[in-house]
């Protein structure tokens, strides 16, 4: 049994935090983010309400990877951003685009003092990460939060609106759609099946069509396994249940040190899957799981084309 590796796995420690606090109460902090738009501002609707943002933000801080990805894809370089964690820094796939960006803590623990010291005029993040500190962020600068469950395109569009880059975002998505069609035709995805397996410490997940990478594969033309996915479009399986990932093509990622995950136990028994060994491809966890933006989607498309064009798998 073997896996064909397309990229070097990047260690990315990034766990979703359960944020239960509501920012919908009528406090002075919240009202400072809402209301009629003063001169030189725009109203942006988002998951927690409406925020008045600068007409053309100049000092942007991003507190989650999708917003960093989106800003950079629209030629906006934030003055500050969180890292996945202290060890890994900014996502590797973003390359030198992150040069000059100040670190303001990690996704799990943003440094509010460091954020305030940068004097931002706009803060961008997601509700699943930072709803609990929304009011505190709003005291520093106008804050817009997005909702993962709406899908990466919606996150991209709302973030672009906050950045005053809506026209550029529309053009970028048109380019993505054209690339999707190109890749789909190149690999013969129409009518083919694919699955995405992620190995983590203590659990194995199959990613469904409403996840970031799953939605990209669906856009290309693949059909993903029809399983009982949870609210995040994920299914959790044991080594004995890995047959649920059976498909023409299997893409797998590993979170962190492979030896510390379920990878060894699962791949030791999955030879019966039709994609193994020649059509099972190991791809980068950072790109496929954490990108959640246009630049990340472009990398996923590139990986799919590199793996499958001329492979004979489909």
Together in a domain, 152 and 241: no
In a domain, 314, yes or no: no
Q: Is the peptide bond before 277 cis (omega within 30 degrees of 0)?
A: yes
Please identify, among 106, 139, 164, the residue that sits at the C-terminal boundary of a domain.
164
| Residue 4, domain member (yes or no) | no
Task: Give the per-residue pLDDT at 112.
Answer: 98
Residue 84: pLDDT band (50, 70, 90) is confident
Q: Give domain status of residue 7, yes or no.
A: no
- The answer to whether position 22 is within a domain reads no
Asked whether residue 221 carries a pLDDT value surpassing 80, the answer given is yes
Mean pLDDT throughout 225-243? 96
The DSSP element (H or E) to which 154 belongs, if any, is helix 152-162
**Predicted pLDDT at 87:** 63
Q: Tally the domains of the chain.
A: 2
Percent of the chain with pLDDT over 90: 82
Mean pLDDT for 254-277 is 96
Query: Is the per-residue pLDDT at 86 higher than 70?
Result: no
Q: Residue 59: its pLDDT value, please? A: 98
Task: Indicate if 120 and 224 belong to the same structural domain.
Answer: no
Please state, in angstroms and rounded to a whole number, the distance separating the CA atoms of residues 99 and 64: 17
Question: How far apart (Å, rounded) are the C-alpha atoms in residues 30 and 112?
Answer: 17
Tell whether 82 and 146 lie within a shared domain: yes
Say if residue 44's pLDDT is above 70.
yes
How many Å apart are CA 38 and CA 187, to the nearest integer?
A: 51
Q: Please tell me which residue, 290 or 121, carries the higher pLDDT value.
A: 121
Give Cβ neighbours of residue 94 (< 8 Å, ≥ 6 apart): 68, 69, 72, 295
Q: Answer with the one of 101, 134, 164 that is the final residue of a domain.
A: 164
pLDDT band for position 277 (50/70/90)?
very high
Token pair belonging to 214:
């799953």
Cβ contacts of 173 within 8 Å, gap of 6 or more:
153, 156, 157, 294
| pLDDT over 60 at 8, yes or no | no
Q: Domain boundary residue among 112, 139, 164?
A: 164
User: Whole-number mean pLDDT of the chain?
Assistant: 89
Span 42-69, mean pLDDT? 97
* pLDDT cut 70: percent of the chain above it: 86
pLDDT value of residue 89: 84
2-11, 30-39, 88-97, 253-262: which is most confident = 253-262
How far apart are alpha carbons 268 and 232 in whole angstroms? 27
Q: Is residue 21, in this structure, part of any structural domain at all?
A: no
List, in order, residues 6 or more apart from 76 with CB less than 8 Å away. Answer: 57, 60, 163, 165
125-182 pLDDT tens trace: 999 899 999 999 999 999 999 998 889 999 999 999 999 999 999 999 999 999 999 9
Q: Using alpha carbons only, what angle is made at residue 275 by residues 269 and 278, rounded to the nearest 5 degrees? A: 100
pLDDT higher than 80, residue 231:
yes
Confidence of residue 248 (pLDDT cuts 50, 70, 90): very high
What pLDDT sits at residue 273? 97
How high is the pLDDT of residue 290?
86
Q: Can you read off the two tokens belonging to residue 247?
A: 């498909």
pLDDT digits (tens, 9 = 90+) for 173-220: 999 999 999 999 999 999 999 999 999 999 999 999 999 999 999 999
Question: What is the residue whose two structure tokens read 């996502």?
Answer: 91
CA 181 to chain CA centroid, Å, is 21
CATH number for the domain that contains residue 260: 3.40.50.1980
Range of the domain at 140: 28-164
Question: Are residue 289 and residue 235 in the same domain, yes or no?
Answer: yes
> Within a domain: residue 257?
yes
Whether residue 177 sits in one domain with residue 154: no
Q: What are phi and psi of 128, to 5 degrees?
A: -65, -25
Per-residue pLDDT tens over the stretch 103-121: 999 999 999 999 999 999 9
Write out pLDDT tens, residues 10-41.
333 333 333 333 444 444 444 334 444 455 99
């Amino acid at each position: 049994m073997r896996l064909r590796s397309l990229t070097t796995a990047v260690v990315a420690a990034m766990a979703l935090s359960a944020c239960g606090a509501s920012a919908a109460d009528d406090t002075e902090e919240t009202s400072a983010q809402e209301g009629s738009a003063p001169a030189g501002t725009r109203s942006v609707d988002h998951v927690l309400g409406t925020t008045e943002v600068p007409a053309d933000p100049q000092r942007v801080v991003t507190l989650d990877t999708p917003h960093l990805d989106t800003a950079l894809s629209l030629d906006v370089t934030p003055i500050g951003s969180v890292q996945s964690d202290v060890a890994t820094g900014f996502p590797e796939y973003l390359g030198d685009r992150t040069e000059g960006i100040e670190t303001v803590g990690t996704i799990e623990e943003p440094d509010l003092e460091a954020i305030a010291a940068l004097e931002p005029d706009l803060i961008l993040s997601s509700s699943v990460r930072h709803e609990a500190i929304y009011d505190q962020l709003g005291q520093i600068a106008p804050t817009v939060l997005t909702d993962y469950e709406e899908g990466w395109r919606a996150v991209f569009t709302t973030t672009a609106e906050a950045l005053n880059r809506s026209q550029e975002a529309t053009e970028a998505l048109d380019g993505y759609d054209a690339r999707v069609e190109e890749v789909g035709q190149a690999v013969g995805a129409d009518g083919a099946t694919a699955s995405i397996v992620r190995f983590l410490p203590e659990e194995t997940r199959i990613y469904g069509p409403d996840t970031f990478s799953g939605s990209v594969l669906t856009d290309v033309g693949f059909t993903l396994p029809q399983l009982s996915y949870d609210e995040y479009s994920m299914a959790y399986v044991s080594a004995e249940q890995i047959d649920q990932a059976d498909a023409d093509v299997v893409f797998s990622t590993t979170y962190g040190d492979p030896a510390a995950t379920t990878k060894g136990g699962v791949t030791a028994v999955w030879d019966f899957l039709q994609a193994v060994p020649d059509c099972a491809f190991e791809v980068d966890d950072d790109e496929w799981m954490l990108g959640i933006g246009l630049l990340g989607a472009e990398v996923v498309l590139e990986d799919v084309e590199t793996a499958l064009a001329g492979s004979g798998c489909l």
